[in-house]
A and B are shown apart, each in its own frame.
Chain A
Amino acid sequence: MTGTGDKRILAVVTGDMGLAAGGAPIFLGRGERECEQMAESLSRILDSMAHHLENGTYIIVSQ
């Protein structure tokens, strides 16, 4: 809550696979709308927060 906890990226949602790589599962969405919907669903399922990186990519971060 205050930023002192251990935060982890649980998932990445992107419309462009060239923008994301690494250890977390990457979900490919078709278009911005689908990406946002996927980010929302994932954040609710994982009880965590969706952040937007301003380039069409969302990261789902555990609190």
Chain B
Amino acid sequence: MDGYLGMIIAGTVAGALARLLLLRVDYRQYPGYPHGTVAHISLGFIASALGAVAVPAILKPDFTAVTFLALAAQQFREIRGMERKTLENLEKYELVKRGSDYIEGIARTFEARNYLVMATSMSVSAAYYLGGLPGALLIAFLFTAFSLTFKSGETIGDICEVHPASINFDGSRLKVDEIVIMNVGLREMREKILNEALAVRIKPKGANAMSVINDIGQRMAIAHTAATILGIKKDIDTPELTPLVRKNLDTGELGMYILPVVKNMEALILAVKRTPVLESARSKPLSTEAGRIAAEKHDRHGR
């Protein structure tokens, strides 16, 4: 029993530690709410305990006990639902919407993190059985490092160049360089935009990147991130001040316009660059022959 207890404790501690490290409260302010944090830590603890008892259950041998891992998976799927629901409820009152792609991405991440925690605790308890405390420590370290690489995915800065761009009006049409953004009817608003807005141009590095930023959910995520970091002057009755990202139909480059609280181009470029690439937007046309031929043709004639 003592041996089993050691395994379970080692696994649970390692799993809970991994969950704590994976919990990040960052610019997205999520889960910035203390109760959300408590909920996630508790669920992470349960996940690690479940993972940790799986190996002793096999050793006992009580093979049917392992089936409850399937039950655990079911529970964690509910976490995804819970996250999605919370974020969707908050979305109604966001001045700059996250978009459902972003919400789905965050929800999926929370579910996946619990699986990572379970895998960590299971492996650590097995390592404790086979190699004692040193073995457990080694595996705990390796798994935590592995989990942390998952935490930092690709960002827009990795796949695109972001440059400052100019704002101009063609009659009522607001343009970022040559990219038409929208029609702004009121003169007063046009003047405000001309004086206070900032614009950037997002240039994809290659066809894969182009298909990512072509995704509307990804563009919403870029606007949301920039607005969260820099703040925006928009209020509920001034929808024309919503940051917008539109594309040049011919080159696939994006133009983004925003009316930030702090007018600082450097900060805006950094904010755009750190937007995560959404899983749902990610696609790799270049890994197919058709995609490669199309990209080559586009490079030759399109630009």
Interface size class of chain A, counting residues whose CB lies under 8 Å from the partner chain: 10 to 19
Q: Is the CB of B186 within 8 A of A54?
A: no
A8 interfacial by beta-carbon distance below 8 Å: no
Q: Is the CB of B186 within 8 A of A40?
A: yes
Chain A residue with Cβ nearest B243: A1
State in angstroms the CA–CA spacing of A40 and B237 once bound together. Answer: 10
A-B contact count (CB 8 A): 50
B134 interfacial by beta-carbon distance below 8 Å: no
Q: Is the CB of A47 within 8 A of B236?
A: yes
In the complex, which residues of chain A have a beta carbon less than 8 angstroms from the beta carbon of B187?
36
In the complex, which residues of chain B have a beta carbon less than 8 angstroms from the beta carbon of A47?
236-237, 239
Q: Is the CB of A50 within 8 A of B216?
A: no
Q: Is the CB of B172 within 8 A of A51?
A: yes
Q: Number of contacting residues on B, CB 8 A?
A: 22
Interface residue ranges of A5-27 to B (CB < 8 Å): none
In the complex, which residues of chain B have a beta carbon less than 8 angstroms from the beta carbon of A51?
172, 183-185
Taking the closest CB of chain A, its distance from the CB of B281, in whole angstroms, is: 13
In the complex, which residues of chain A have a beta carbon less than 8 angstroms from the beta carbon of B171?
52, 54
Secondary structure at the B interface, as helix, strand, loop or mixed, is loop
State in angstroms the CA–CA spacing of A2 and B215 once bound together. Answer: 11
State in angstroms the CA–CA spacing of A60 and B187 once bound together. Answer: 15
B244 interfacial by beta-carbon distance below 8 Å: yes
Q: Is the CB of A43 within 8 A of B220?
A: no
State in angstroms the CA–CA spacing of A43 and B239 once bound together. Answer: 9
In the complex, which residues of chain A have a beta carbon less than 8 angstroms from the beta carbon of B237?
43-45, 47
Taking the closest CB of chain B, its distance from the CB of A19, in whole angstroms, is: 15
Q: Is the CB of B220 within 8 A of A39?
A: no
Residue from B183, B187, B242 having most chain A Cβ neighbours under 10 A: B183
Taking the closest CB of chain A, its distance from the CB of B267, in whole angstroms, is: 22
B97 interfacial by beta-carbon distance below 8 Å: yes
Taking the closest CB of chain B, its distance from the CB of A3, in whole angstroms, is: 8
Interface residue ranges of B225-284 to A (CB < 8 Å): 236-240, 242, 244
State in angstroms the CA–CA spacing of A52 and B172 once bound together. Answer: 6
Contacts A36-B187, A52-B183 known; list 17 others, CB within 8 Å. Answer: A1-B96, A1-B242, A2-B99, A2-B216, A2-B220, A4-B216, A39-B186, A44-B238, A45-B237, A47-B236, A47-B237, A48-B239, A49-B240, A50-B185, A50-B186, A50-B240, A52-B186
Query: Could you name 9 residue pairs across A and B whose Cβ atoms are closer than 8 Å?
Result: A1-B96, A1-B97, A1-B220, A2-B216, A44-B237, A49-B239, A50-B186, A52-B183, A63-B239
Q: Which residues of B contact A (CB under 8 A)?
A: 96-97, 99, 171-172, 183-188, 216, 219-220, 223, 236-240, 242, 244
Shortest beta-carbon contacts, A-B, top 9: A50-B185, A52-B185, A52-B172, A51-B183, A51-B185, A49-B239, A44-B237, A63-B239, A47-B237
